[in-house]
Amino acid sequence: MVEKFHGELRSLKRDVLEMGYLARDMLQRAVKALETRDVSMVESFDRDKKRLADQDHEIEQKCLRLIALYQPVAKDLRTIATALKMNTYLYRVGRYGKDIAVLVPDLVDTRDSGRLADIPLMADLTIGMITDALTAFEREDLSVIQDILEREEKVDALRYDILRESLDCMKDDGGSITWCTDCIMIARYLERCGDHACKIAEKVHYMVTGERIEIR
């Protein structure tokens, strides 16, 4: 019985990681499509969103089933609880990726106001945070997320830089309002994804140590 439970627990972790990498890749592809103005790259997002929603439901059902059947305690229970919370955060990351992708067709012929340069930098930082949070969950290795707060602070600073510069640009050039507004929204989406990466890191820390921390 114990061996069967731990096999199912490992399967649950694999499912969470699969969902996590899908959500991360949706975000990554959306930003790449924005950089290249490649509308074809966003065609799969409706399908990916559906897959993400299915994974969300399946993981939740697996978690509840494991709790009901095996009544786990200690670290095993913390792992299941972490999977449940990560499920929510990862779904939101994927949704933000889709939200960015939705903007791409409208921006294909829009003049770049100059704010685009900071978007990929924000995205690289955020995607790195998500990747490391998933690695920490998979390996139960907290060392890869030790500096996640510093990276989150850089993401926050970039978001406010984009906000200020975009507002200045809109004042100087009324024709840039649409583009700058979208840049502000995209920066906000990326900042929220960084927040979700921090929340995942908090839950993984609790899973591994039994101690609760607040990263931000």
Half-sphere exposure at residue 143, Cβ-oriented, CA atoms within 13 angstroms: 2
pLDDT of residue 113: 46
* Position 10 in a domain: yes
Longest Cα separation, the chain: 69
Residue 173 lies in a domain: yes
Backbone angles phi, psi at 215, to 5 degrees: -80, -30
Distance CA 119, CA 175 (A): 20
| Residues belonging to the chain | 216
A 10 A CB-CB count for 20 gives 25
Contact yes or no for 162/183 (Cβ under 8 A): yes
3-state SS, residue 71: coil
What would you report as the CA-atom Rg of the chain, rounded to the nearest whole angstrom?
Answer: 19
Residue 109 is assigned to a structural domain of this protein: yes
Q: How much of the chain is helix, strand and coil, in % rounded to 5?
A: 90, 0, 10
CATH of the domain at 27: 1.20.58.220
**Is residue 64 a part of any domain in this protein?**
yes
Is residue 104 in some structural domain? yes
Structural domain contains residue 215: no
Tens of pLDDT along 119-159?
A: 999 999 999 999 999 999 999 999 999 999 999 999 999 99
User: Looking at the 3D structure of the chain, how many domains does it have?
Assistant: 1
Give residue 136's domain range.
2-209
What's the pLDDT at 110? 65
Over its length of 216 residues, how does the chain's per-residue pLDDT go in tens digits? Answer: 889 999 999 999 999 999 999 999 999 999 999 888 889 988 899 999 999 999 999 999 999 999 999 999 999 999 999 999 999 999 999 999 999 999 998 777 665 545 567 899 999 999 999 999 999 999 999 999 999 999 999 999 999 999 998 898 888 888 788 888 999 999 999 999 999 999 999 999 999 999 999 997
Enumerate long-range contacts of 42-49, CB under 8 Å, 24 or more apart: 42/101, 42/102, 42/104, 42/105, 45/97, 45/98, 45/101, 45/102, 46/98, 48/22, 48/94, 48/98, 49/94, 49/95, 49/98
How far is the C-alpha of 126 from the C-alpha of 194, rounded, in Å?
A: 5
Residue 216 lies in a domain: no
| H/E element, 166 | helix 148-172
Residue 214 domain-assigned (yes or no): no
Angle at the Cα of 195 from the Cα atoms of 29 and 131, rounded to 5 degrees? 50
Amino acid letter, residue 168: D
Return the structure tokens found at 3.
């061996």
